[in-house]
């Protein structure tokens, strides 16, 4: 029963909570979501694909099943001509997350996100439309039984405040995380200051998600951790961002075009690098540690194990010592070929 499950705040008080996202990117790679609009039509068209990915993240150690309502709002559905499916999609997404969560001890989060509608220079008019989007998505999520709400990838402090206001109409914890494609939010305010404001206004969990890889997100997280006294969340993208190319939107390879959003493979972090991130974030005092676009179950399992957990999928964690060539017992007939398997060139 829901009432016997420990809530998100109780879990965060006791330990790090491991999250996992990147549903839209992963389901796009699997052929169920169209890149460009990135609308999660898969929730209605192939619900079993969504359920399976939830299950994979759950088996990998994720403690929160995030309902796939990212870009499932009325404006986004209009882009693909499916505004008539709005409520159905939002309710179905939560039901799928709940079904998967019940297979383990996971919580269910409702999800709202950046709207692409908000404009701080035209606050009065655009805030009204954003409010409608957040209000209806949260109402359906609450009605379907979520445990808390994640508002994420927000580009504006204004969106954060509207999201928090909408969440706090209900007695549910709010996790508000900002995107960081630019050095500041769109209003020109720093991410640190925005997190401080969200914490002061009553968000229980604040932080960053998407846009940056661990290398360029961790310095910002350190500052946020030092300046707020609420829980801090970090869900970077698993890409090798650098000071020169700090976000995955800016990643470019010499001789190739922009990597974002569907040619990012050359920059992908290994599971080991994401495991290192989890360890470092935990040591820094980050409370909710996850992954965003580009993340996949193998990353999540490695992150979980790195912070001392054993997951259902750990049963199949690597045992490279059993490999015929790089393992401990190379057959005599194979030994003459070992030079082709050397660690160093």
Residue 268 makes contact with Zn ion by CB under 5 A: no
Residue 293 makes contact with Zn ion by CB under 5 A: yes
* 144 vs 240, beta carbon nearer Zn ion: 240
CA dist., res. 130 & res. 122, Å (int): 12
* 210 vs 217, beta carbon nearer Zn ion: 210
Q: How near is the Cβ of 110 to Zn ion at its closest, in Å?
A: 17
CA dist., res. 210 & res. 154, Å (int): 10
Q: How near is the Cβ of 71 to Zn ion at its closest, in Å?
A: 11
Across 59-84, b (16+ Cβ under 10 Å) vs e yields bbbbbbbbbbbbbbbbebbeeeebee
Residue 112 makes contact with Zn ion by CB under 5 A: no
Distances (CA, A) of 246 to 107, 147, 240: 32, 33, 9
CA dist., res. 30 & res. 245, Å (int): 27
Closest C-alpha to 57, from 310, 295, 275: 295
* 42 vs 292, beta carbon nearer Zn ion: 292
Across 26-51, b (16+ Cβ under 10 Å) vs e yields bbbeeebbeeeebbbbbbeebbebbb
* 70 vs 196, beta carbon nearer Zn ion: 70
Residue 233 makes contact with Zn ion by CB under 5 A: no
Q: How near is the Cβ of 2 to Zn ion at its closest, in Å?
A: 28
CB 301, CB 271: distance < 8 Å: yes
* 144 vs 159, beta carbon nearer Zn ion: 159
Residue 292 makes contact with Zn ion by CB under 5 A: yes
Q: How near is the Cβ of 130 to Zn ion at its closest, in Å?
A: 19
Q: How many residues bind Zn ion (CB under 5 A)?
A: 3
Q: How near is the Cβ of 177 to Zn ion at its closest, in Å?
A: 10
Window 7 to 66, contacts with Zn ion (CB under 5 A): none
* 112 vs 292, beta carbon nearer Zn ion: 292
Q: How near is the Cβ of 236 to Zn ion at its closest, in Å?
A: 9
Q: What residues have CB less than 8 Å from 241, skipping those under 6 apart?
A: 212, 213, 215, 216, 217, 247, 248, 250, 251, 267
Q: How near is the Cβ of 237 to Zn ion at its closest, in Å?
A: 6
* 127 vs 281, beta carbon nearer Zn ion: 281
The site string for Zn ion over 203-222 (x = CB under 5 A, - otherwise) reads -------x------------
Distances (CA, A) of 189 to 207, 246, 300: 14, 18, 32
Instruction: By CB under 5 A, name the binding residues for Zn ion.
Output: 210, 292-293
């Amino acid at each position: 029963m829901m009432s016997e499950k420990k809530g998100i705040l109780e879990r965060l008080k006791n330990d790090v909570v491991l999250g996992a996202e990147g549903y839209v990117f992963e389901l796009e790679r699997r052929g169920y979501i169209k890149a460009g609009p990135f609308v999660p039509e898969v929730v209605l068209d192939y619900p079993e694909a969504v359920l399976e990915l939830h299950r994979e993240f759950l088996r990998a150690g994720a403690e929160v099943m995030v309902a796939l309502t990212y870009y499932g709002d009325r404006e986004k559905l209009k882009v693909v001509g499916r505004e008539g499916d709005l409520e159905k999609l939002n309710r179905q997404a939560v039901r799928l997350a709940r079904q998967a969560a019940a297979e383990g001890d996971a919580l269910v989060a409702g999800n709202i996100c950046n709207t692409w509608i908000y404009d701080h220079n035209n606050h009065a008019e655009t805030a009204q439309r954003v409010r409608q989007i957040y209000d209806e998505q949260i109402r359906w999520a609450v009605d379907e039984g979520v445990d808390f709400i994640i508002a994420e990838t927000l580009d504006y402090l204004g969106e954060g405040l509207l999201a928090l206001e909408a969440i706090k109409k209900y007695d549910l914890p709010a996790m508000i995380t900002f995107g960081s494609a630019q050095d500041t939010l769109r209003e020109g305010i720093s991410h640190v200051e925005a997190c401080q404001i969200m914490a002061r206004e009553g968000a229980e969990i604040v932080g960053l998600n998407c846009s940056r890889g661990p290398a360029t997100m961790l310095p910002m997280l350190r500052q946020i951790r030092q300046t707020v006294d609420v829980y801090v969340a970090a869900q970077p993208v698993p890409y090798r961002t650098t000071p020169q190319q700090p976000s995955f939107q800016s990643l470019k390879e010499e001789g190739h075009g922009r990597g974002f959003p569907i040619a990012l493979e050359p920059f992908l972090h290994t599971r080991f690098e994401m495991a290192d991130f989890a360890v470092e974030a935990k040591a820094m005092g980050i409370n909710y540690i996850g992954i965003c676009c580009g993340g996949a179950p193998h990353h999540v399992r490695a992150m979980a194990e790195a912070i001392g957990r054993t997951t259902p999928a750990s049963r199949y964690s690597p045992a490279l010592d059993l490999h015929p060539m790089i393992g401990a017992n190379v057959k005599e007939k194979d030994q003459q070929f070992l030079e082709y398997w050397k660690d160093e060139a």
